[in-house]
A and B are shown apart, each in its own frame.
Chain A
Amino acid sequence: MLLIRCPYCEEERPELEFRNAGEAHIARPTNIAAESDDDFEKFFFIRANPKGVIYERWRHIHGCARFFNAVRDTVTDRFVMTYKAGEPKPAKLPGASK
């Protein structure tokens, strides 16, 4: 069972308290009705699904109930960091070589 740090509760809690909510940093277009078919397809259906570092959303559903973002390595399942919803994608990851 993973330990996940909730950036709102500011502590590590067991995975059972959380639910994954898919890839992060995919903003809903402000004028979504005007999106082209291709753009809508990219927004709604296409996901990176990387081997390695993924930016994804989690919800502390059985805790503070907040959605937040996490950086996780899909190979090792190791969480690199978590941060609050709305904060920008981190430019630098802790422990990363560059």
Chain B
Amino acid sequence: MNAAFRISGAGRLSQAKTASFSFDDKPYIGIEGDTLASALLANGVHLVGRSFKYHRPRGFLSAGAEEPNALVQIVRDDARKTPNVRATVQELYDGLTANSQNRWPSLAFDVGALNDIASPLFSAGFYYKTFMWPKWAWKDLYEPKIRAAAGLGVSPDKPDPDHYAARYAHCEVLVLGGGAAGIAAALAAAETGVRVILADEQAEFGGSLRFESGARIDGQGGYAWAQAAIAKLKAMDNVRVLSRTTAFGYYAQNFVGLVERVSDHLKSPGRELARERLWQVRAKRVVIATGAIERHMVFANNDRPGVMLASAARTYLNHYGVAVGRNIGVYTANDSAYAAAIDLKKAGINIAAIVDLRDNPAGPVIDEARALGIEINFGRAVVSAGGKLRVSSMTVQPKNGGGERTIPVDAILMSAGWTPSVHLFSQSRGKVAFNDATKRFVPGTYAQDCVSVGTCCGTDGLAASVDEAYAAGAKAAKEAGGKAGKGAKPKVDAGESWSRGMLGAAPGAGPGTTVKAFVDFQNDVTAKDIRQAVHEGMHSIEHVKRFTTNGMATDQGKTSNMHGLAIAAETLGKPIPQVGLTTFRAPYTPVTFGSIVGHARGALFDPTRRTATHGWAASHGAVFEDVGHWKRAWYFPKAGEDMHAAVDRECVTVRKAAGLFDASTLGKIEVVGPDAAKFMELLYTNPWEKLETGRCRYGIMLREDGFIYDDGVVGRLAPDRFHVTTTTGGAPRVMNHMEDYLQTEFPHLNVWLTSITEQWAVIAVQGPKSRDIIAPLVDGIDMSDEAMPHMSVREGKICGVPTRLFRMSFTGERGFEVNVPADYGEAVWEALWAEGQKHGATAYGTETMHVLRAEKGYIIVGQDTDGTVTPNDAGLDWAVGKKKTDFVGIRGLTRPDLVAKGRKQLVGLKTKDPKVVLEEGAQIVADPKQAIPMKMIGHVTSSYWSENCGRSIALALVAGGRDRMGQTLYVPMPNGTIEVEVTGMVFVDEKGERLNG
């Protein structure tokens, strides 16, 4: 059964293939190949939404991507509720469920429509002026209310179950837009043998050939020619044809982003199908053939459902076989609306009248309309549309004033002319130029290797467009390395040509009027709003745009920008080019987050790095923390232990017996070569030339500004070989810093740098029993204090595998770090663990490591330093070689501010109440009674409960800190002020005897 407005014999859809769907819970029948828009129109439904600000009833303005009004929510299931889908591009599938948006409680009766009556309150700039004061009210009162009342549709509240694919592609010629011009360009390029990609946003190729009924190319109808040409292109190995694919962004060096909608048009897409596919294409040449977009007429109540672009009505008729009304009025300022009237009249639809603003236009379409008996009124304007939920009449007046006449209609088709789609050209950083004769912005100066063809560059007429495009396609291919083509240029036997029209408000909506003549439908911007913005001082089009929000909705002003600009120019009394065009930005149409994110979500969002002992730690109950990309064991709770209890036990056990800790994430760099020591002298503050082979030293690395950049223990394995360790987080940047100096400042040094972080697993064995645990497993290394003192390194074997055995300590206890090739890491850990069990050792994680080092006042770069701390500030002056004449940072260290008195220095803090643990980051003041804002003199950098000390301990950066030993300072917190005493940084074993204990 045919829907009421489906015209038999019209359109290209097969009426046998029906599809049922629902809109706002009401069932309808459409046809396969329909869009949601054409299917609703076939059923006589025009009212599909409410506008954003005034909640005015809205219908379909267009039949394509420029649609500002007909935004709906498409619901597939609980997790798939896509808001703001343009009904004019959503293809129908059997079972489609759509709902209207931005209305409550129902579409026909919407409480928010009170905003329309109260509209003087909501004029341009209303939000900026009204919601400024009082200051507190924005966050608590205004913003939540505005957010609740505004919004377009409802975001899904479940994770997106779909997947999104991504492809990179390269080609010689990329053609954007698959209308007559784009197809002609692609044919010409393809015939030369180069790689060609042709993309179009529609489901079917053809562009305006979908509605241009009289076009004939190569002896066939225009649309049929397009389909044949596409079939030919698809059959060629060097051509990729992408339909449902929108070029949304044009980036540097002919890098174009496209989104292909793979399965949104399918009834039940299989899980194997992506929802969308992101194409990132690099093209040697780009041919832009994006066509033009018809403009509406700006007159009172031009937003009533049933008022639409003439080309849209023509598309609905000629492609979908749908009449948008039975008694239709036409309001135009150029020829192209006549063609719509003629096609509809021939299909048996009554054309109530054509109202043409022009005084005495002449031409074949006007003659044809007249011959068909259509009433034509020249020099007249439609000054108002009647009706509310659907247009019911148009009021016509001579354009310079005079008697009004009201004509009953159920639809009004309008055309103010065509705006070339220069969006992608402009995104490519090309500069548009204003053609004063045709009142259009067209491509002017090109910034990239691209060319615009057809109506998007202001070429009028099908034949001229096809000729231009074919030549441009051939030229682009030749420039990109193609051979001469053998094909023949398509011959246009008949085609239409549109030009001219008008910009700005039509009579009845001009200066001095207050009618609602919409310029931007989606953001509810009227001609009056734009004039008001200028009167209030917005003289640049960018300011007018932001003040009125004209062109700032999701449609980005595809239909509104030129009208808005013209009204602003008229009000300013300046020519249009002097007012300027707003910048076109990507994306051309909205792009889903899914297509940008692609597969990079969940576990694939970011790499995860695991150490060799990860599995062992997990099976022994470790709780992990994220440190950069690394998963590190944080603590190892036993049954019934919380984090506090586990860390207390681990801390005590390490100092009493021993502990095993995975330190593999520390960065490791091997510095090798005849000049290795010289290089180390330049990169670190310490002296290295005299460090004996087999000994280690704590090194500090500065930036040239004199601030601490990184630190770590360095072992000299041979005269020409250093094993350097870095902080976990600093490993990549330290490597980069070293390479930078080696390659660019000290290239005369014969040195090689190799990252060995992932090659060596590192097991720290710390505590009085550490030597007893390791020694039985080691071959060929004398571990006595005489042979292997603190801060030494030996190479030998452990458990039969090679090891670099460091004697070093980040706990203050006798300690070792066992380096073994990463593949043996877990096995050696297991062996050490088994030995450790005999001595009461514990495994410990990063939290205990932090507490133990803080008990000894060992700093962590990046926690106790922040990029503004010098070695002296950190109490590490001893590590700066006083006799050295050069190292990176040596000059920075003597800058006036870095040697000034009163700098923040690292000190210890003890709370007066030993049970109180300070918050890291808490601010410190000298006088807690001073007025707010208080003078901060420092902040807490590290703070822990120390079970070994039986009290809390903290490190802090405090102005003039070392001169404040014993002073009482204050840490103001929300629940009261905490008293603290300034102390030294070492809380355990101040003399360092336990290193050999």
Q: Is the C-beta of A93 less than 8 angstroms from some C-beta in chain B?
A: no
CB contacts (< 8 Å) of B252 on chain A: these are 1-2, 77-78
CB contacts (< 8 Å) of A21 on chain B: these are 740
Q: Which residue of B lies closest to A3 (CB)?
A: B253
Q: Is the C-beta of B992 less than 8 angstroms from some C-beta in chain A?
A: no
Total interface residues in chain A, CB < 8 Å: 25
Sort chain B's interface into a size bin.
20 to 34
Q: Is the C-beta of B619 less than 8 angstroms from some C-beta in chain A?
A: no
B744 x A85 contact (CB < 8 A): yes
Q: Is the C-beta of A91 less than 8 angstroms from some C-beta in chain B?
A: no
CB contacts (< 8 Å) of A19 on chain B: these are 736
Interface flags, B880-914, vs A, CB<8A=1, else 0: 00000110001110111000000000000000000
B891 x A33 contact (CB < 8 A): yes
| 8 extra A-B contacts, CB within 8 A, seeds A44-B704, A67-B739, A67-B740 | A32-B890, A37-B896, A61-B736, A67-B743, A67-B744, A78-B252, A85-B743, A86-B747
B892 x A44 contact (CB < 8 A): yes
Q: Which of B429, B743, B886 contacts A76 (CB 8 A)?
A: B429
- Tell me how far the C-beta of A76 lies from the nearest C-beta in chain B, rounded to whole angstroms: 6
CB contacts (< 8 Å) of B890 on chain A: these are 32-33
Q: Which residue of A lies closest to B746 (CB)?
A: A28
Q: Is the C-beta of B745 less than 8 angstroms from some C-beta in chain A?
A: yes
Q: Is the C-beta of A9 less than 8 angstroms from some C-beta in chain B?
A: no
Q: Which of A2, A35, A67 contacts B891 (CB 8 A)?
A: A35
Q: Is the C-beta of B121 less than 8 angstroms from some C-beta in chain A?
A: no
Q: Which residue of A lies closest to B885 (CB)?
A: A33
CB contacts (< 8 Å) of A77 on chain B: these are 252
Q: Which of B725-759 contact A (CB under 8 A)?
A: 736, 739-740, 743-745, 747
Interface flags, A26-50, vs B, CB<8A=1, else 0: 0110011101010010001000000
Q: Which of B655-710 contact A (CB under 8 A)?
A: 704-705
Residues of B bordering A, CB below 8 Å = 251-253, 255, 280, 282, 429, 447, 704-705, 736, 739-740, 743-745, 747, 885-886, 890-892, 894-896
Q: Which 8 A-B pairs have the closest CB atoms?
A: A32-B891, A67-B743, A28-B745, A3-B253, A33-B890, A77-B252, A1-B255, A85-B744
- Tell me how far the C-beta of A78 lies from the nearest C-beta in chain B, rounded to whole angstroms: 8
CB contacts (< 8 Å) of A37 on chain B: these are 895-896
CB contacts (< 8 Å) of A76 on chain B: these are 429, 447
A33 x B886 contact (CB < 8 A): yes
CB contacts (< 8 Å) of B740 on chain A: these are 21, 59, 67
CB contacts (< 8 Å) of A61 on chain B: these are 736
B contact face: mostly helix, strand, loop, or mixed: mixed
A16→B892 CA distance, assembly (Å): 33
Q: Using A35-B891, A67-B739 as known contacts, say yes or no to A57 and B253 having CB atoms under 8 A apart.
A: no
A21→B253 CA distance, assembly (Å): 21
Residues of A bordering B, CB below 8 Å = 1-3, 19, 21, 27-28, 31-33, 35, 37, 40, 44, 57, 59, 61, 65-67, 76-78, 85-86
A contact face: mostly helix, strand, loop, or mixed: loop
Instruction: Point out which of A27, A40, A86 has the most chain B C-beta atoms below 10 A from its C-beta.
Output: A40
Q: Using A40-B895, A44-B892 as known contacts, say yes or no to A1 and B251 having CB atoms under 8 A apart.
A: yes
A19→B732 CA distance, assembly (Å): 13
A35→B280 CA distance, assembly (Å): 50
B891 x A66 contact (CB < 8 A): no
Can you report 20 A-B residue pairs in the complex whose CB atoms are below 8 A from each other? A1-B251, A1-B253, A1-B280, A3-B282, A28-B745, A31-B886, A32-B886, A33-B894, A35-B891, A37-B895, A40-B892, A44-B704, A44-B892, A57-B744, A59-B739, A59-B740, A67-B740, A77-B252, A78-B253, A85-B747
- Tell me how far the C-beta of B874 lies from the nearest C-beta in chain A, rounded to whole angstroms: 21
- Tell me how far the C-beta of A18 lies from the nearest C-beta in chain B, rounded to whole angstroms: 12
- Tell me how far the C-beta of B831 lies from the nearest C-beta in chain A, rounded to whole angstroms: 37
Q: Which residue of A lies closest to B280 (CB)?
A: A1
- Tell me how far the C-beta of A47 lies from the nearest C-beta in chain B, rounded to whole angstroms: 14
CB contacts (< 8 Å) of B255 on chain A: these are 1
CB contacts (< 8 Å) of B251 on chain A: these are 1
CB contacts (< 8 Å) of A1 on chain B: these are 251-253, 255, 280
Q: Which residue of B lies closest to A57 (CB)?
A: B744
B895 x A2 contact (CB < 8 A): no
- Tell me how far the C-beta of B309 lies from the nearest C-beta in chain A, rounded to whole angstroms: 37
A37→B896 CA distance, assembly (Å): 8
Q: Which residue of A lies closest to B732 (CB)?
A: A61
CB contacts (< 8 Å) of B895 on chain A: these are 37, 40
A90→B282 CA distance, assembly (Å): 29
B743 x A66 contact (CB < 8 A): yes
A40→B620 CA distance, assembly (Å): 54
A40→B896 CA distance, assembly (Å): 12
Q: Which residue of B lies closest to A66 (CB)?
A: B743
CB contacts (< 8 Å) of B705 on chain A: these are 44
- Tell me how far the C-beta of B1 lies from the nearest C-beta in chain A, rounded to whole angstroms: 53
A33→B895 CA distance, assembly (Å): 11
Q: Which residue of B lies closest to A30 (CB)?
A: B886
A3→B170 CA distance, assembly (Å): 13
- Tell me how far the C-beta of B230 lies from the nearest C-beta in chain A, rounded to whole angstroms: 30
A3→B280 CA distance, assembly (Å): 13
CB contacts (< 8 Å) of A66 on chain B: these are 743
A40→B280 CA distance, assembly (Å): 45
- Tell me how far the C-beta of A8 lies from the nearest C-beta in chain B, rounded to whole angstroms: 11
CB contacts (< 8 Å) of A78 on chain B: these are 252-253
CB contacts (< 8 Å) of A67 on chain B: these are 739-740, 743-744
- Tell me how far the C-beta of B695 lies from the nearest C-beta in chain A, rounded to whole angstroms: 27
